[in-house]
Amino acid sequence: MKVIISGCNGKMGRVLVRLIANEKEMEIVAGIDKHKDKFENTFPVYEKACECKEKADVLIDFSHHSAFSDILKYCLDTKTPLVMATTGLTGENLRSLMKASNEIPIFQTGNYSLGVNVITNLAKKAAASLGDDFDIEIIEKHHNQKVDSPSGTAYLIANGINEAFETKKEFVYGRYGKSDKRTSTEIGIHAIRGGTIIGEHTVIFAGPDEIIEIKHTALSKDIFGLGAIKASKFLIKQKNGFYNMNDMLK
């Protein structure tokens, strides 16, 4: 399987290069990154996907949302399946991905780890059982180099929880400046940034006289890279469509 890595010189890009070196049937044919210097002796690196001369069986994107249009255009023009891992995408970006999935297979999730997929489903089940009597708050913690907040995973979990409710809850980000009491129509989302925290997500269900917490802690970035590799192997066998972790793991 020929692979193009977008964001190849970033933290996750480097993790992927290392992990793919152990995959016998995978070969990196090109990289895309603002920084062209690092892997030039191993594979060509382009500043923009539209400059990329190589074709691949899949493009894996761990870069920045500002690269979104360029990446999607390359994949549509060359009919390359896309594994989208970059977070901080806008609603419009996500709608463009959905539309593009009529023409190419697209896999997208805010978190490629198995564990987050499991806690998202657990949180959804908990919300369905607990109903409006329990207040739901999500706390996410990440390293001080992260550029988007809240995390893609916090959105993934919050959207998953909302599937349990007929009347969707409104996301409330922090509570600075609020002068009203909390209502049951909210899901609170809070972002913490510091040091080298790889990723921690806690969902709190706070009810009358009892609290449930569901928590996932990432101990290495490898879990995201391995998940994206697994998603690539899954995606190249699929027809055009929009896929996520639930499709792959069912």
Ligand X SMILES: NC(=O)C1=CN([C@@H]2O[C@H](COP(=O)(O)OP(=O)(O)OC[C@H]3O[C@@H](n4cnc5c(N)ncnc54)[C@H](OP(=O)(O)O)[C@@H]3O)[C@@H](O)[C@H]2O)C=CC1
**Site membership for ligand LZUJQKHR, residue 146 (CB under 6 A):** yes
Decide if residue 44 touches ligand X (CB under 6 A): no
> Do residues 112 and 162 lie in contact, with contact meaning Cβ atoms separated by under 8 Å?
no
Residue 241, Ramachandran bin (φ over 0: left; ψ between -120 and 50: alpha; else beta): left
Residue 44: what are its φ and ψ, rounded to 5°?
A: -70, 145
If one asks whether residue 110 binds ligand X (CB under 6 A), the answer comes out as: yes
Catalytic residue (choose from 141, 142, 190, 221): 142
How many other C-beta atoms are found inside a 10 Å radius of the C-beta of residue 225? 24
- Choose the one of ligand LZUJQKHR, ligand X, none that binds residue 34, judging by a C-beta under 5 to 8 angstroms depending on kind: ligand X
Nearer to ligand LZUJQKHR, 39 or 224 (CB): 224
Given 48, 65, 73, 146, the catalytic residue: 146
Answer yes or no whether residue 16 interacts with ligand X by CB under 6 A.
no
Decide if residue 153 touches ligand LZUJQKHR (CB under 6 A).
yes
Farthest-apart Cα atoms in the chain, separation: 61
Torsion of CA 25, 27, 33, 35, to 10 degrees: 130
Contact 161, 203 (CB under 8 A): yes
1 is in an annotated binding site: no
Binding of ligand X by 205 (CB under 6 A):
no
Annotated binding site: 7-12, 36, 85-87, 109-112, 143, 152-153
Annotated binding site for NAD(+): 7-12, 85-87, 109-112
Catalytic residues: 142, 146
